[in-house]
Each structure stands twice: as structure tokens, then as C-alpha cells.
Amino acid sequence: MAARPSRPRRLQRVEEVSAGGIVLDRAAPDASAALIGRVDKRGRMLWSLPKGHLESGESFLDAAIREVEEETGIHGSPVGELGTIDYWFVADGSRIHKTVHHYLLVAESGSLSDTDVEVDEVAWVPLAEAAERLAYADEKALVARVAGLLG
């Protein structure tokens, strides 16, 4: 009797929530945004918006302000909510559904720094060029919303 083929193992579904955003050097249409770069497994620099997991009891906005500062060195004050992105990926044997809440911030203090271990490079990029530099389409769409929040 032939052995039955085994069923593929179902991946465990995990829900993750993060927050982050776009921090500008000033509240103006010709401002620059702080973007973070990470080198992927293929050695390519992928530019994205700073973001990270919420800590216990932390609001989305508080997490966004903290994560932006940790990953860029810039402490920002909130201007408004940019929107929410959600996506799926597989890691460590789990299928992860990640939801990220993004905010628009304006720099209050600090200086650009890539000292965070999760970041390989940080750069001020003119807002008009930020969407071109970003690696992910959903984040590019958030850049288009900035002008509406600046008034």
C-alpha cells in the first residue's frame, strides 16, 4: 500500500500592530522627510517610513512618535493621521497580518541618526522626491496625503 501524501502544515496566523509615520523638517510643502534605509537579503537598500510595534498600554500616536525618534533621531510633534496600511507576510513559520498606523509629524528636536540597530541609513529626502525613493507602494500613497494635512 502506498503511503498517503502528508498534508502541508498550516501556518499559524499572527496579528501584529505597529505605528510610525512621516516626520518633516518643517511644516511646509517644500519640506524634507526623514526616511530610513535597510539592506535586504539581496544587498539592496530599501527605503521606508520609520515604524515599529506598540509597547504595552501605548496609543498608536505615542508609539509612532517614539518609533520615529528611535529610528531617525528626530522627535516630532503630531500634525495629523496619514492613514493605515495592512499587509501579509510569512516569517518564522507564521503567516503574519500586520496593520501599521501612520501619522504626520514635524521635527521638534534631535538630529538625524542611524544608530538604531534596525536601521542601516537615514536621510532627509525632499518631500517631492520621497515617493520615488520609497520601496513600498502603500507608503508612497501616504506621501501624497501630506499636502492635505499641511493645509
- Structural domain 20-150, CATH architecture: Alpha-Beta Complex (3.90)
The mean pLDDT value of the chain amounts to 93
* Share of residues in the chain with pLDDT > 90 (%): 84
pTM of the model: 0.89
- Please give the grid coordinates belonging to residue 40: 535586504
Separation CA 21–CA 36 (nearest Å): 11
pLDDT given for residue 92 in this prediction: 87
Please provide the DSSP assignment of 17-31 as one string.
EEEEEEEESSSSTT-
Separation CA 112–CA 58 (nearest Å): 24
Least confidently predicted of 2-6, 65-69, 92-96 = 2-6
Separation CA 49–CA 76 (nearest Å): 14
pLDDT given for residue 3 in this prediction: 66
Separation CA 146–CA 11 (nearest Å): 37
